[in-house]
Amino acid sequence: MAETGCVACIDAIAYLTVSSHFMKKALQEVRRAGSHTNMTHEDVTAIRRQIEDLIGLESFCELKRRPSRRESGANAKEVFGEMRNFK
């Protein structure tokens, strides 16, 4: 790898391995202490908001608030077309 100029090789499962390791530690802390002692409420709120923004949670919630296909009389093609345009 070094001959090609690569500094590191990130295995496809590296993210899952690291996140699982630290999630396990976090859950052990919650069990031991009853909550996350390494994160403040403000930390949790800020990170949660970042994740919600990243996945577009507000847009999804807006879509969920709309009348159902049955309630609106829309056909399946219209509903799937709208879902395809979901951002």
Give the integer Cα–Cα distance in Å for 18 and 31.
Answer: 20
Which sequence spans correspond to the domains of the chain? 8-38, 40-87
Closest CA to 87 of 54, 56, 52, 49: 56
pLDDT in tens, 4-57: 777 777 777 888 889 999 999 989 988 998 887 788 889 989 999 999 999 888
pTM for the predicted model, two decimal places: 0.44
Say what the pLDDT of residue 24 is. Answer: 94
74-80's contacts with Cβ under 8 Å and 24+ in sequence apart are none
pLDDT at 45: 92
